[in-house]
Amino acid sequence: MIRFGLIISMVLGSTAIAGPSVSLRPIARAGTGHRNIVVVPQLPQERLEFVAATTQGVDLSLRPNVRPGGIIEKAMARKRNRLRGAVCGDPDIQGEVIGRVPGKIAGCGVENAVRVRSVAGITLSQQAVMDCGTATALKSWINKGAKPAVGSKGGGLAGLKVAAHYSCRTRNNKAGAKISEHGKGRAIDISGLTLVDGRTITVLQGWNGADSRTMRRAHKAACGPFGTVLGPDADRYHQDHFHFDTARYRSGSYCR
């Protein structure tokens, strides 16, 4: 409740700052014996927000206008959908929980696997199976590496071209080699960055091409979130894609 005297002081204070005069004319209210004070500021139309107040005072609300119900319902629906599709306890990682994935050969398999379709608003070209540690590392790289590397080019980053994810195999498919991190759900291969305008910058053409700066910056930024980062300069097996995995080494991340 804001009393009459305060309203008048607010009016006079506002008017004193603005400059124009204010007319305070008493007008009798028929049949009541009371009189209203009508405040008539000599101000532009958009400033005429004050109303007449009785000696009993008036209630004023400082709350903003209520949003239309339809807008609120749509916002709530979007929130529910994000929460429903969240995996790894993170609404920014969208997909589904698939649980234990048994390996076909010794050393393969994922204990608590998820199938991810988008991360931090960026769509994956194919749903990728991985563990939550890898999904979280991918989110960190997207936000701190891939998005800044692309910037506003082509309208910004929209998607990732996934070349490989979980696969029960040895490193580089060599017989007798150690099990690849792909076979443990700890790796993902990225072959390109898709922009909002529909164009895709591929690792194969972009590494030494017109988009070299973008690709090299994105590659470098992965070193940290991921334990192993391999690209075209690593070996002949990675000429057309980036290999990211979450294996950790005592000497720190291995980035080539």
Residue 24 has pLDDT above 80, yes or no: no
Q: At 63, is the pLDDT very low, low, confident or very high (cuts 50, 70, 90)?
A: low
Q: At 77, is the pLDDT very low, low, confident or very high (cuts 50, 70, 90)?
A: low
Q: At 175, is the pLDDT very low, low, confident or very high (cuts 50, 70, 90)?
A: confident
* Calpha distance 193→199 (Å, rounded): 8
Query: Across residues 54-60, what is the average pLDDT?
Result: 48
Q: At 113, is the pLDDT very low, low, confident or very high (cuts 50, 70, 90)?
A: very high
List alpha helices for the chain, DSSP H.
4-18, 69-84, 132-141, 147-150, 203-206, 212-221
Residue 75 has pLDDT above 70, yes or no: no
For all residues of the chain together, what is the average pLDDT?
81
**Global pTM?**
0.69
Q: Which residues contact 115 (CB under 8 A, 6 or more apart)?
A: 95, 96, 98, 127, 128, 129
Residue 17 has pLDDT above 60, yes or no: no
Query: Across residues 38-47, what is the average pLDDT?
Result: 48
Residue 48 has pLDDT above 70, yes or no: no
Instruction: Enter the tokens of residue 55.
Output: 């000696």
Residue 50 has pLDDT above 70, yes or no: no
Q: What is the dihedral of CA 23, 24, 27, 32, to 10 degrees?
A: 160
pLDDT at position 21: 45
Closest CA relative to residue 146, chosen from 164, 121, 165: 121
Closest CA relative to residue 147, chosen from 81, 92, 106, 87: 92
Query: Across residues 35-46, what is the average pLDDT?
Result: 49
pLDDT at position 64: 60
Mean pLDDT lowest among 70-74, 117-121, 225-229, 240-244: 70-74
Place of tokens 């800044």: 148
- 3-state DSSP assignment of residue 235: coil
Closest CA relative to residue 199, chosen from 164, 150, 163, 244: 150
Longest Cα–Cα distance in the chain: 104
Highest mean pLDDT among 42-56, 183-197, 237-251: 183-197
Query: Across residues 153-179, what is the average pLDDT?
Result: 94
Query: Across residues 163-177, what is the average pLDDT?
Result: 92
**Cβ–Cβ under 8 Å, residues 127 and 95:** yes
Instruction: Enter the tokens of residue 37.
Output: 């004070």
